[in-house]
Amino acid sequence: MRIRIADIKDDGLSLDLVEEVSNFSVLRELQEKGESVFSQPVTVHLRAVLVSGMVEVSGRVATHAEMVCSRCLKPAAAIVDSTFELTYTRELPELGDDGGDEGVEITAEDMGLILFDGEEIDLRDAVQEQVILALPVHPLCSRNCRGLCAQCGADLNEQECSCGPQDYNIKFAALKNFKIDK
């Protein structure tokens, strides 16, 4: 998953790529651990343009993943579909000096730039990062998932439990018997 700088013409370069999940180390690791199962390869549509010696890459990444519902622990489907914009450069641009004696070191990351060497840009890590960022933090099997009972563990989507509602919020349980003397 590389772009050759020489292939980017004046009007830019458009590419459609399809990569198996096994070609991405972190995604493969997520799959091996059972945290996410990717049912489709990762598809990437991107456009690269040369601007002032830098390469601006914009695109869309998509795939399908199956994760564990954060409420009831059943399988939950997640559609990954995300756009991204990245800027690659060989060296950091010169910043104007404000006349002060103290210098502040600014990294490429601080400027939103990704450094590269040579005549090719490897997009594998960037695409992998975009997929990970697009995965839901709290996947749900459905919007109305009621989850598991906190006391007995019953799946509240399938049955009601006999535990009954709690009479206080767990967050404030430590304050239940708190009294203020005036």
Residue 83 lies in a domain: yes
Rounded to whole angstroms, how far apart are CA atoms 139 and 127? 21
Residue 84, in any domain of the structure: yes
Tally of domains within the chain: 1
CA 80, CA 176: separation in Å to the nearest integer?
43
Is there a domain that residue 46 lies in? yes
Rounded mean pLDDT, 54-60: 91
The whole-number pLDDT of residue 107 equals 63
Given this model, what pLDDT does residue 99 score?
52
What sign has the CA pseudo-torsion 36, 71, 151, 173? positive
Q: Which residue has the higher pLDDT, 161 or 170?
A: 161
Q: Can you give the residue range of the structural domain that contains 107?
A: 2-92+103-145
Whole-angstrom Cα distance, residue 170 to residue 162?
19
Residue 122 domain flag: yes
**What average pLDDT is seen over the chain?**
84
d(CA 47, CA 24): 21
- Could you tell me which residue, 91 or 132, shows the higher pLDDT? 132
Q: Which amino acid is at 145?
A: C
Whole-structure pTM value: 0.73
pLDDT band at 35 (very low <50, low <70, confident <90, very high): confident
Q: Is residue 141 part of a domain?
A: yes
pLDDT in tens, 97-123: 555 556 666 666 666 788 888 888 999
The answer to whether residue 119 is domain-embedded is yes
pLDDT confidence of residue 115: 82
- What is the model's pLDDT at position 168? 55
So what's the pLDDT on residue 163? Answer: 81
In a domain, 23, yes or no: yes
Query: pLDDT at residue 181 above 90?
Result: no
